[in-house]
Amino acid sequence: MKRRGLFLLVLLVLLCVPGFLWQPHQAATVRANYRSYLDPIILVPGSSATQNRFNALVKELNHETPKTHSLLRVEVMTDGTLKYSGTLQSGDEHPFIVIGFQNHHDGYRNILKQAQWFATAFKQLQATYHFNHFSAMGHSNGGLILTLFLEDDLAATHAHADRLMTIATPFNLEEADPDVDTPLFKRLESGRKRLPHELVVYSIAGSKTYTGDGIVPFDSVNRGKYLFQDQVKAFTQITVTGANANHADLPENQQIVGLICQDILP
Domains of the chain: 38-263 (3.40.50.1820)
How far apart, in whole angstroms, are the C-alpha atoms of residue 125 and residue 43? Answer: 13
CB atoms within 10 A of CB 58: 20
Tell me the per-residue pLDDT of 109-137, one tens digit each, with 9 for 90 and over.
Answer: 999 999 999 999 999 999 999 999 999 99
Stronger pLDDT, 5 or 137, i.e. the higher one: 137
Q: How confident is the model at residue 35 (pLDDT cuts 50, 70, 90)?
A: confident
Helix axes 183-190, 141-152, angle to 10 degrees: 40
pLDDT for position 242:
86
pLDDT band at 266 (very low <50, low <70, confident <90, very high): confident
Q: What is the per-residue pLDDT across 68-90, written as a single tens digit (0 to 9) for each?
A: 999 999 999 999 999 999 999 99
- Name 191's Cβ contacts closer than 8 Å, sequence gap at least 6: 148, 151, 152
Average pLDDT, the chain: 91
Whole-number pLDDT of residue 19: 59
240 compared with 209, residue with greater pLDDT: 240
Q: How confident is the model at residue 244 (pLDDT cuts 50, 70, 90)?
A: confident
User: Which band of pLDDT confidence, cut at 50, 70 and 90, is reported for residue 9?
Assistant: low
